[in-house]
Amino acid sequence: MPQSSVLSLAEFSAINIAAVEAELDQIISSNKSKIDVLTQLDDVSWANFSDPIQQMDMCLEDFFSPVSHLNAVKNSDELRDVYQACIAKLTAYGTELGQNSALQQQYKKLQDAAEFENYSAAQKQWIKKTLLDFHLSGVDLPPAEQERFKTIKNRLAELAQTYSNHVLDATAAWKRPATEAELKGLPDSALAMLKQQAQASEIDCEYLLSLDFPVYQAVITYADDRGIREEIYKAYMTKASESGPNAGEFDNSELMVEIVNLRQEMAAILSFDNYGERSLATKMANSVDEVTGFLEKLAHQAKPFAEQELQTLQSWSAENVGLEKVESWDFAYVSEKYRQAFYALNDEALREYFPLQKVLSGLFEIVGRLFNIQIEECDNFDRYHDDVAFYQIKRDGQIIAGFYLDLFARDKKRGGAWMADCRSRYIKADGEEELPIAFLTCNFRPASEGKPALLGHGEVTTLFHEFGHGLHHMLTTENIAGVSGIAGVEWDAVELPSQFLENWCWQAESIQLIAEHYETKEALPQAMLDAMLAAKNFNEGLMMLRQVEFSLFDMHLHCADRLADAGQIQAVLDVVRSEFAVISPPDYVRFQHAFSHIFAGGYAAGYFSYKWAEVLSADAFSAFEEHGLFDQKTGTAFLENILQVGSSRPAAESFKAFRGREPSTDALLRHAGLI
């Protein structure tokens, strides 16, 4: 049993950026010396080998995770340079360990030892996964190919960071002063945001547009001026490319080509047919054909619905908005007008019923009832920005986890939403228990002009999604860092808890807990609730096709022959669109140049994971449809079979343990209104 539990918060104010690289060098050097000793052990055991390895890994994670987080949420030129240098060193260190045959042999000794049979399932799984990682790191390659493999890994890490920097810089580079007349149609809350942005800038103007997503979303959805919608659409859809208003300034074209080619070369060195097959070596899906078949089946099921949805919008727009043809920059605008007319649903009016604090308190109550936890805010912690909050999670009076919450868009902060590890749960060699801590990050509109932060329902869903990831990380009960939380979970299963939790954003019983008017405290009116639920699957066919399009593009790209130029990347995307898309974007669109998920994130040849896991999450939620939204027995079963076990067993086994059978696509299609 653990001796004590430790909630070890990050000390952001103690981070000296100028000293980070030297401190990292010291940790890596110390780890290498310890590894040299460990590889000399004649008899290895969990206590004398695995525990020290885990301690070294966690020492490195605990040091670098706050630095990595700062690079994403409080970027600066100094930090960027240091971070890039550190990533190069970490990549080299990781590859060196992965190709250390003496270290590999020690793991094999563990696997072959008599005591292996007495190990827990988690211990066995950790050893099995680690030995696979050795193989995928090139340990079995001849020396010359090992060196080439190292070179590729180092270069890919450098390219990914440069790609991310280009997206961040391209987003920050485009600013556009605007007048109130140009922004006619935008709701007051959006105008207040743009005015606040202008006041915070050095540009003398009444309103300032940018490519931060809350700004882009507001303009593309509500601006009556078609010209300004097209202008911001073009700027947003050409970020970091050779096209658009900042053409060539932060161009990712050559980087993408090099990234894909190097991945293909690395896969070939490891004897895979392509990088798609290499990616699937650590996922639930077994083959590229299985993935593409799954995606194409979804596309064929969704396409008739999508075609009908687009035709309906086109016809309605011609008659009611005066647009004979709905272009890409009109789609969100016309869709919102249609929603307001057909469903009597206004997203901005709805926003007034989702003040952030009410949403948070409701979210905490929902997960508390499902998983028997309590969440409390803490004031005394080391903040890196005034926006940031910290919460601790308790069960039966005992602290079991914590999380940082950073929810608002701002300069020098990466776009999008994500969960990242701050600390991982594990039992140290001395018996002390380190508790898990998560970073939960979004980019919502901040409070403005006396109003609190108000969330659109889509943002509410995003918050629930990321919190689902956080629960997966924080509610684990595994004692080995390598298999606790999301560590080692197959990438096409890691979205299961996040997509699963989104379902509580769409149930009348749970919506009552997260919605009340920010001024009057009135509950969401029944008419608005009915309209929201009726509109749940509005344009679902089009949205499904969009995700399938991205997923097929990703997989086909990573199974393609060697690329000569970025035009071939566009050609792969064009082929996918020609077969499955019903909306053709303008020729200048360069979506792929800012597709960070696959070029700078963990989703290369894995973007299909969102749809794959959605099958799992929809089927898992159907258990609550059968037994009750807050059924304690079902909630406990999900907690024990999915959230707590980490990767101590294959995800397919965890799902089957919860559901009692193999997953079915029926619930996904039913929830999406496609059957």
Q: Which residues of the chain have pLDDT under 70?
A: 1-4, 6
According to DSSP, the residues that pair with 434 across neighbouring strands are 6, 426
- Please write the tens of the pLDDT for every residue from 306-341: 999 999 999 999 999 999 999 999 999 999 999 999
Encode 351-383 in three state secondary structure.
Answer: HCCCEHHHHHHHHHHHHHHHHCCEEEEECCCCC
Q: Given the structure tokens 């997989």, which residue do they identify?
A: 555
Rounded Cα distance between 610 and 281, Å, is: 17
The DSSP letter of residue 522 is: P
Q: Are 44 and 113 in contact (CB under 8 A)?
A: yes
Whether 376 is in a domain gets the answer: no
pLDDT at 93: 97
- Please write the tens of the pLDDT for every residue from 220-240: 999 999 999 999 999 999 999
Whether 212 is in a domain gets the answer: yes
- In Å, how far from its chain's centre is CA 272? 27
Whether 534 is in a domain gets the answer: no
Whether 224 is in a domain gets the answer: yes
pLDDT at 345: 87
Whether 220 is in a domain gets the answer: yes
Would you say how long the chain is, in residues? 675
Whether 219 is in a domain gets the answer: yes
- Torsion from C-alpha of 13, 14, 19, 25, nearest 10 degrees: -120
Q: How many domains does the chain have?
A: 1
Q: Exposure of 307 by Cβ count < 10 A (0-12 exposed, 13-18 middle, 19+ buried)?
A: middle
Whether 88 is in a domain gets the answer: no
- In Å, how far from its chain's centre is CA 141? 33
Residue 187 Cα distances to 80, 180, 193, 410, angstroms: 37, 11, 10, 20
Q: Which of 593, 610, 2, 672 is nearest to 246 (CA)?
A: 593
The residue range of the domain holding 208 is 174-237
pLDDT at 4: 58
Note if the pTM is more than 0.95.
no
Q: Are 517 and 352 in contact (CB under 8 A)?
A: yes
pLDDT at 1: 44
Rounded Cα distance between 385 and 364, Å, is: 23
Whether 284 is in a domain gets the answer: no
Using only the alpha carbons of the chain, give its radius of gyration.
25
Q: Supply the residues annotated as catalytic.
A: 466
- Please, which contacts does 585-591 make with residues 24 or more away whose CB atoms are closer than 8 Å? 585/237, 585/328, 586/234, 586/327, 586/328, 588/234, 588/237, 588/238, 588/243, 588/244, 589/237, 589/238, 589/243, 589/328, 590/237, 590/238, 590/239, 590/240, 590/241, 590/242, 590/243, 590/244, 591/237
